[in-house]
Each structure stands twice: as C-alpha cells, then as structure tokens.
Chain A
Amino acid sequence: MESAEPSGCRPQEEEEEEEEEEEGEEEDGALPAPEQPSAAMEDCLAKKMEITVSEAEKRTGRNAMNIQETYTAYLIETRWVMRAQSQAYMDVHSKQIFPPSTPKNNQSSKEQILVNESQEDLSKVLQRRAVESQSEGQCTPVESLWRRYSEFELLRNYLSVTYPHIVVPPLPEKRADFVWHKLSADNMDPDFVERRRIGLENFLLRVASHPVLCQDKIFYAFLMQEGGWKEMVNETGFQLKADSRLKALNATFRVKNPDKRFTELKHYSDELQSVISHLLRVRARVADRLYGVYKVHGNYGRVFSEWSAIEKEMGDGLQSAGHHMDVYAASIDDILEEEEHYADQLKEYLFYAEALRAVCRKHELMQYDLEMAAQDLTSKKQQCEELATGTVRTFSLKGMTSKLFGQETPEQREAKIKVLEEQIQEGEEQLKSKNLEGRDFVKSAWADIERFKEQKNHDLKEALISYAVMQISMCKKGIQVWTNAKECFSKM
C-alpha cells in the first residue's frame, strides 16, 4: 500500500487530502511555507517580535550542590515590531499570544504589567504602543533578560514532552564536536561561545516561527520573565508526562503494527544522522589540511624578505611577492570561519534527526500501548466467554486450580463475570479513546513532519548553495593573490 521510496516520507495522496480537509476545520497551526503572503493564518511570534541572543557573559556562581562553578549566561533581547496590521487582527490574536497566566512571585517590570493585565487592557496596550511607535516613528523598547544553557535545555525538554507530535527544534551542541586542530574543544573558548550564541538565537527563532510552539506560554515567559520561570515550568508537571526511555525502547522492539511511514521516517533519520556525522568529520579534516596548505605559504613571505636583502635586482620582486604570500596565508582564517557557520547549519539538521526519531518513538509507544490494550481486552473477553460457557480453551492457572480444587460455585462465577464485563466495558471505551488519540497523533505529527520536510529541503539547499558561494569567494581571492604574486615574480 505504501510506496517504498528511499526517503519514505510520502504518504498516500488520498490520505493527505483527507487530512487537509479535516485540518482546515480544527487547527490553524500546521501549514506550509510561512513565507507565503497569502497565509494570513500564520500568526507566529517571530513575525511580531524581534528576538536576538545578543551577548554572552562569563559568570561564576554556586550551583545546587553549593559548589563554585563557571558558566556562560546569554542575553536575550526582544522587541515588538509594530507593522501596519489592523487592530482587529491584534484583537483576535492577542488572546492567543498572551494567554492568561499570572505567575506568582514575579518581579514587577514592564513585561509583567503586560502579562498581568486583563485581555481587554492587553490589546489596548498593544494598540497604544502601535500608535505610539507609528506616530513617533521610533522603535519600541527592547526588553532583555539573561538565561543560561541549562535553562534552554529545560525549555526544550518541556516543549518535547508537551508537544510530542511536533518536531521540536534542536539546541546547539553542548560540547564542541567535530573540531579540527585550530578550533578549541573548550566550552569557554570565545569562538565556541560565539557560535553557540548564534545557535541559541537560531533555536529561539525556530520556536518562535513554529505555528504551534510559538503560542506556548512557557516559551513566552522564557523570553519575557527572568525570575520564577523555572518554578513555572516545574509547576506544569511535565516531567511526569515524560515517557521513560526504557518504556520507549521496549515499545520499539515489541510494537507489531506501526504506521509504515513512521518506520520509514525512522530509517531516514538514522541515515541522515549517520551521513551528516560522517560529512562533518571529513569536512573538519579537510579544513585542517587546507589550513596547513595556506599557512605554510606564509613562510615564503619571511624567507623571501630575508633573501631580498642580499639581492640587488631581484630584491624588490621578492619582497613584494613575499608580502602577497603573507596575505594568502592570512586569508584562510576568514574562509574557514565562514565555513564553520556552514558546518553549524548542517549540525542543526544532524540534531534534528534526533527530534524526528523522538516523534517516531512516541508513535511507536502509543501504538504499542494501543496494541497492548487491545490484547488485554481480547483476553478479558475470552476469559468472560470461558467462564460463561464453562469451556476452557486456554490454559490458565485458575483453570488448573479449579480442576484440582473443585469448580467454583455459580455465584462466584457470576460475580467474576460481572467484574469482567465491567472491565471489558471500560476497556472498550479506553480502546476507543486510545485509538482516537493515536489517529490524531499520527495526523498532526505527520502534518508537522511535512512542514519540517519542506523547511529541511529549503534550508539544506540554501546551505549547500552558500557553500558553493564560499568556495567561489575563496577561489577569487586565490586568483587575486596569485595574479599579484605572479606580477611580482615577473619583476624579479
């Protein structure tokens, strides 16, 4: 039924159409291509707010075990961007953007006032601000707060558990990986911190542009409320909802009938992870070698210069050629720094593979749960039937003991049957709801997966093209340097 395509990410046509029809009625979230101007339903936060992670700062403090530690804190800056939107639009959507949440123990600040005010006042505040900024022609004020990496991790964990059907954007790596000799593997290294800062900003923007995730109030609070946020997250009790790894592993092995698309998706994500890791490893080695080639040319500069001192006619040519060799050797630093950004783009999708697998795992878990529940129901029904008819079709301890120690009294049997019938009733309802849950999950998960796929194709293509652009720029620089050098050599 399902077509066996390599990526395995194409559902049947009919199914897709069905889903889309249903979707239109229910949620307004999972739609493709946020860039399309016609998608008026797209109300992601990223369009309304500028979010940046603008600074990183080393800090020391005492951790939970009262041990001194050094960590880096990141400054998140947000600024409302007022566009010429209709007030109605704002009225309609302000409810969704600023869900009523009144965190306790918060510190008073402008943002808190914003959050604490009632819905009516809220939209009025927005309108007022919009008018203000448009009339004054000034930017809205920048709000800011500091967060450390562990808080980002907490946010992501929360999102993964709360929205298991969503491919949740990954965080940049915790520790430097795929390093080549010039790069430091030290977490405190300023270049690493800088790249991580960019990665964290990217993460926030991804969440803010996700139609579903951007509406989450915990996320909003992460951006706007420095104090008490952790407590707020913990209060949601999301940790309890998290599935244990062991359970998930068990389900993966035992599930009998998962949706084929998810199985294929799992394979795809494994392949993606493996190939990108390999690519990044080799790229790091290539970068290392390239660095060597360029830097050794720098030695020419020094020696040419010293040699030129003893030459009369050749001196000038040598000296200036040497200068160009120095330029050549120095040029590799910028070139490879740019390439690191490319590597980071690929790395994001390396980590996305894990997010994809998480969604597949959730499906397997739900499916397994469903299968177990169905199995349990079937066996209960069987038991009931056996008790009612007195036939023993299956071996059971009860059956044996009753054979050995005598049959039960009819009253006992009646009681048992009644209990079983109740359980069966319950079981059937549960099964029905689980089935529904499962189908909903598959539907919404697959919608987000389609969204993700488009995003991935777009981003990867862009990254690959930017790689080509980088190579072109490197070649042009090389041509320039060697043309100059050749000119100098010709004057020797």
Chain B
Amino acid sequence: METESRVPGLALPAGGEGPGADSCHAAGALGTAQGPLLAAAEVLALDDEEDDLEVFSKDTSLTEVNSFSPSVPISPSSMINQYKFEDGPELRDLFITVDDPESHITAIETFITYRVVTKTTRGEFDSSEYEVRRRYQDFIWLKSKLEEAHPTLIIPPLPEKFIIRGMVERFSDEFIETRRKALHKFLNRIADHPTLTFNEDFKIFLTAQAWELSSHKKQGPGLLSRMGQTVRAVASSVRGAVKNRPEMFTEMNNYLETFSQKINLLDKIAHRIYKEERDYFTEMKEYGPIHTLWSASEEDVGDCLKGLAGCIERCCRATERRMAGLAEHLLPILHEYVLYSEILMGVLKRRDQIQGELDSKVDALANKKPEKDLFSEEIGKLEDKVERANNALKADWDRWKQNMQWDMRSTFMNVAENNLHYYEECLATWESFLASQTVDLHVDEDSEDRP
C-alpha cells in the first residue's frame, strides 16, 4: 500500500564547513539545490537505523552538476579560516560536499539520505564527478572499515545517532542540519588525511551506486567476526600492555585524560552560553515594545522613547546574529572534539592491544627456549606490526594536534569576532541615538524663549 514516497527534508545546499566546498564557491559555481516543499514534521519519525534493510534511494536524476549554493554568503575571512593548512588548496584534488537531506518512507522504515557530491582530478577515479545518496548507516560502515584497515590512525568522528542533551529534538530540522554538517566534515577530514584519502572503501563510498555499495558491504567480515575482534581486543588490553608502553604513549594518555575532561567542560559551557544568550534575546524582545507603548502617552519624551525602543530592537537582532554565530561555529567544533577525544582513547587502546599481542607472544615463548627460533619469524612480524602501528600513530597524533590547534584558534577567534561585531553594532546604534537626542536638546535650548 505504501509506496515509497519522496518527501524531501530541508532544501539545504552545502554549508561552508569543509574546505572542499569553499574552493568550489571560489570558482564561482552558483546554482540552487532546491527541493520540493517540506512536509509535516511527523514524516521524519525515523526508526533506529541499525537494521540491515536495503536502502531505497531515488535515482536522483542529476540536475545541474555544478549545483552548489551558499546558504549564507561566505565572507572572505571565513573562507580563509576554513582552509586547512595541511594541504594547500592548490594541492587538493578531491572535493566533497554533503547536502540535500531527503526523507524516504517505506512500508518498513523511514530514513534520511544525504546527497554526496564528489569532484576529483585523480586518475584512480574513472570519472571526475560523482553524485550518490548515502544514509547514516553507510557512514557508520565506512568508519568501521577505516578503523579496521588502520587501527592506529585517528579516524574522524561521526555525529552521534541522537543527541541526549537537548538543544535539538531527535530528527527535527535542526538535528538534520547539524548532522548533515557533521557528515560533510567527516568526509572532508578523511579526504584531507594523507593515508585515509587513498583508502579503497572510501573511494567506493564516494562513487558506488546504492546497489553496488550494498553488495560490496556484504563482502567484508561480518558482524560476528567484528565482535570477535572486539572481545579479543578487550581481553588483550587487560593483560597489561601498559607495562611495556613507550614513554611517548603514556604521555599521550595523560594528555588525553586532561584534554578530554576540558573539552567536555568547554562543550557544556558553550551550550550554557548559547542558552543564556537565547533567554536574554527572549526577554529583550519584550523590552523594546514597552517603550513604544509608553511613548503613546507622552508628548515631550515620546520621541526619545521611540528612539530607545528602536535601539533595543536593533540590539535584539544583533543578539540573534551572535547566537546564530555560536551555533554555526563554536558548538559543532567543540562537539567534534569531544568525540575526537573518545576516538583518540580508542586509538591508544588499539595500539596497546597490538603491542599486547607481541608482548604476550614473547612472554609465552620465554618459557620455551628451544622453540624460540621457530617463532622468531612470527615475533618479527609482530614486532614490525608494533613498529608500524607506533609510527603511524605518532605521525597521525602530531597531525591531529596541529589540526586541533588550528581549529581551536580559528574557532575561538571567530567567537571573539562574533562578539566584536555584536558590540560594535550595538555601539553604533546607541551612539547614533545619543547624537540625535543631543541635537534635539540644542534645538530645544535655542527655542527656549518663554516669558
């Protein structure tokens, strides 16, 4: 009875989060990615996305290939801010955007797919442009494949399934937009990563049609084998890989403990500030009109009151912009790094595991002197594995730290700028009001000629 109906979500073009999108904007490609009108909110009552059902996604007949449009006019300074320093924009050869969330309703479930557009000059890609639709499950799959292939590399975080602390409700427009931006970030971070960017599963994710992807997914090790790995991992880490851990990684662990704590606190603080600013905005909205009301019963002071009301109104709008800026930049970044800190913990653990494998093998053989030579090859392999893992982690850690530093600097500078714009705008408003009042005063004084 229920055929699949295409009820699109928000008509959202690509945001300006990732560096890839920006250079495309710089290239001046402007179009509109407008979907049909949004339907009722209850349509978006999505079930848990854990099931393995096939993804039905509409064959998106490609409209304009160059269909990017900035949702907000991107100022030059913010564009610069979003360039990563790692690869200069001239070196990048892979540009990815995530946009156009659409809701898909079937008899069995409802879910959202996102459009993923890739542009590339790389030879390994058959074509220079791809457009596919992916759902959240697919992203999870990609992440787990990357983790598998590179256990000691730092895989970027995915947005969570749902947000507990609520500035958004589950699957509201806000939620979807937040998620879309995070997914966009996720893919772009992978694209920027010197190693991950060449991962085969990544390529398939970007290019394969829906059916291709699902058949490819089924090829890999199943859920059970993945679970088995986890169990072993936990077991071996318990076995005290810590005792042979090189100093460097202990330092990393210590750093991470504090960092994780602080970033979580900052996340909470930022949300709290947002809430307070929103409450302030709500009260301010009521404050201005009272002055206008008052001006109706006053003659002399009426104009002054109206002027004041106007000022308050303008400051109110400025507050709104400040809030939006916070939600746009600071909150997503802090949240991403909260997730990053968890990921990093996991990476360090996996490294410990790998070392643990080596250590346990070495310990086991310590008691079997004559057979040592037989297993020397195996031990050699494990030693290599440990060394590779350590080096990969070290390099990626340094890279991550640099990125983090850059991200924090640019984000907090953006916060400061946001606040500066707010105060400057309010200042201008009040100063012009004051100037107008002083002029009036002088006019009054001149005309004072009472008997």
Contact = CB atoms under 8 A, between A and B. Distances in A.
B272 A296 contact: yes
Interface string B427-447: 100110110010001000000
Nearest to A9: B299
A202 to B, nearest CB: 20
B308 A272 contact: no
A457 B426 CA distance: 26
A55 to B, nearest CB: 35
Contacts of A142: none
Tell me the interface secondary structure of chain A in the complex. Answer: helix
A465 B299 contact: no
Contacts of A289: 276, 279-280, 282-283
A61 interface: no
A286 B280 contact: yes
Contact of B258 (A310, A490, A492): A310
A265 to B, nearest CB: 11
A300 interface: yes
Given A306-B262, A310-B259, A313-B405, A6 B424 contact: no
B412 A492 contact: yes
Given A486-B413, A490-B409, A472 B427 contact: yes
Contact of A475 (B301, B416, B430, B433): B430
Contacts of B324: none
Contacts of B413: 486, 489-490
Given A279-B291, A293-B277, A472 B423 contact: no
A469 B258 contact: no
Contacts of B273: 293, 296-297
Contact of A457 (B269, B272, B301, B437): B301
A217 to B, nearest CB: 32
A159 interface: no
Interface in A275-326: 275-276, 278-279, 282-283, 285-286, 288-290, 292-293, 296-297, 299-300, 303, 306-307, 309-310, 313-314, 317, 321
A472 B430 contact: yes
A279 B450 CA distance: 34
A71 B176 CA distance: 61
B304 interface: yes
B259 A307 contact: yes
Interface in B282-301: 282-284, 286-287, 290-291, 293-294, 296-301
Interface size class of B (residues with CB under 8 A): 35 or more
A303 B269 contact: yes
Contacts of A279: 287, 290-291, 294
A471 B430 contact: yes
A28 interface: no
B298 A7 contact: yes
Contact of A468 (B277, B297, B433): B433
B276 A293 contact: yes
Contacts, number: 149
Tell me the interface secondary structure of chain B in the complex. Answer: helix
B292 to A, nearest CB: 10
B269 A468 contact: no
A282 B420 contact: no
B311 interface: yes
B38 interface: no
A291 to B, nearest CB: 9
A363 B305 CA distance: 31
Nearest to A486: B416
A199 to B, nearest CB: 22
Nearest to A457: B300
Contact of A275 (B282, B294, B416, B427): B294
A256 interface: no
A246 B345 CA distance: 79
B200 to A, nearest CB: 36
Interface size class of A (residues with CB under 8 A): 35 or more
Contacts of B300: 457, 461
B252 to A, nearest CB: 11
A317 B405 CA distance: 11
Contacts of B434: 465, 468-469, 472
A464 B304 contact: yes
Contacts of B311: 468, 471
Contacts of A6: 296-297, 299
B430 A286 contact: no
Contacts of A457: 298, 300-301
B213 interface: no
A272 B300 CA distance: 14
B408 interface: yes
A314 B287 contact: no
B409 A282 contact: no
A258 interface: no
B182 to A, nearest CB: 23
Interface of B: 255, 258-259, 262, 265-266, 269, 272-273, 276-277, 279-280, 282-284, 286-287, 290-291, 293-294, 296-301, 304-305, 308, 311, 315, 405, 408-409, 412-413, 415-417, 419-420, 422-424, 426-427, 430-431, 433-434, 437, 441, 450
Given A310-B255, A465-B304, A489-B415, 8 more contacts: A6-B297, A6-B299, A293-B280, A468-B311, A478-B423, A486-B417, A486-B420, A492-B409
Closest 3 A/B residue pairs (Cβ): A486-B416, A289-B280, A475-B427
22 contacts: A32-B450, A268-B297, A275-B293, A278-B293, A282-B283, A282-B290, A286-B280, A286-B284, A289-B283, A290-B280, A293-B276, A296-B272, A461-B301, A464-B305, A472-B430, A472-B434, A475-B426, A479-B423, A479-B427, A482-B423, A489-B415, A490-B413
